[in-house]
Amino acid sequence: MKVLVTGANGLLGQHLVMQLLEKGFTVIGTGKGDARLHPEGVGDRYTYRTLDVSDPSDVQEVMDAVKPEVVVHAAAMTQVDECELAPEQCEKINVTGTSLVLADAELYSSHFIYISTDFVFDGEQGNYKEDDDLKPISYYGFTKMQAEAMTETSSIRWAIVRTCLVYGDTLEGTRSNIISWVKDSLEQGKDIRVVSDQWRTPTFVEDLARGIVLIIEQKATGVYHISGKDLLTPYDIAIQTADLLQLDKSKITKVDASTFKQPGKRPPKTGFIIDKARKELGFEPVSFAEGLKKMLGI
């Protein structure tokens, strides 16, 4: 089976490509710029093509050439503050880009999987189920909600995967995540301030990729919450990281979100109930402690 992955140069994209190849799929990775991932020993089962998802002719050319059976649409503008400051660019990538990829997937493919976020919720309730009301409080969350709506009304078999605070090995060229930031900062002797009034269920990237593979293998449809199982604050995450690495946690100062003047609002409490994914897909994430050890090679 041939699977096309948009955003293949990102953290999730690279891990997903590797897991798909390990399962024997033929994979086409797409992204902006040169390929960051160069799998060995897979022959012609992996190819990479540059793709601007907001360019109609670019999307059509790639999809027509490849004709994938499955499309995993992970490409997105995800930096919350950047989306708030550049809404037109955010909409161009997250909304227009999704509509273009989806339209061509309807022509060439049989299964479309859209990667979404906990930021489609307002964070007043926490512990969200798949059918809870969407109330984004940032422009980023609003564009992801729009893209979800387009996916749900498409004519192709579809699945939406919402996830939450992804962490894991930062592979070639990917941005740092909260754990790598804490580790690097403390190793350099820097003082850091970390919020303690925002709650998430942090997701180990290998678990997220595995959940997507399960959806592909089972041809599953509908909305799935794929995340970790431990409800933690960023401060909790920072302390656990420092403890595991035996770094000086006195350098970590607990603050609340009002300390930071950020353009984009963050939901105070998200976190997911993952019972549906467990029951229907057989998904089971590692604990945060286990994921942290795996990421850090301990």
Locate tokens 């564009």: which residue? 143
Residue 154 has pLDDT above 70, yes or no: yes
Digit-coded pLDDT (tens) for 101-127: 999 999 999 999 999 999 999 999 999
How confident is the model at residue 176, as a pLDDT?
77
Q: What is the pLDDT of residues 187-223, one digit of tens each?
A: 999 999 999 999 999 999 999 999 999 999 999 999 9
123 neighbors 267 (Cβ within 8 angstroms)? yes
Residue 179 confidence (pLDDT): 93
What counts of helices (H) and strands (E) characterise the chain? 11, 11
Q: Would you list the domain boundaries of the chain? A: 2-168+201-228+270-286
183 in Cβ contact with 241 (< 8 Å): yes
| Mean pLDDT confidence for 155-160 | 97
Residue 181, pLDDT > 80, answer yes
* CATH homologous superfamily of 2-168+201-228+270-286: NAD(P)-binding Rossmann-like Domain (3.40.50.720)
Q: What is the pLDDT of residue 171?
A: 72
Distance CA 117, CA 2 (A): 25
What is the predicted pLDDT for the residue at 174? 65
Q: Alpha-carbon distance 292 to 19, whole Å? A: 19
In the predicted model, is pLDDT for residue 255 greater than 80?
yes
Average of per-residue pLDDT across 54-59:
98
Residue 147 CA: distances (Å) to CA of 32, 101, 143, 167, 215: 20, 11, 6, 23, 19
Cβ(76)–Cβ(13) under 8 Å? no
pLDDT at 169 (0 to 100): 86
Share of the chain above pLDDT 70, in %: 99
Say whether pLDDT at 10 is over 90.
yes
Q: DSSP string of 23-82? A: TT-EEEEEESSS-----SS-GGGEEEEE--TT-HHHHHHHHHHH--SEEEE------HHH
Mean of the per-residue pLDDT values for the chain?
A: 96
Q: For residue 172, what pLDDT is reported? A: 67
Would you say residue 175 has pLDDT above 90? Answer: no
Residue 16's identity, in one-letter code, is L
Q: Is the pTM of this model over 0.75?
A: yes
What does the pLDDT read at residue 122? 98
Reported as a single tens digit per residue, the pLDDT across 227-247 is 999 999 999 999 999 999 999
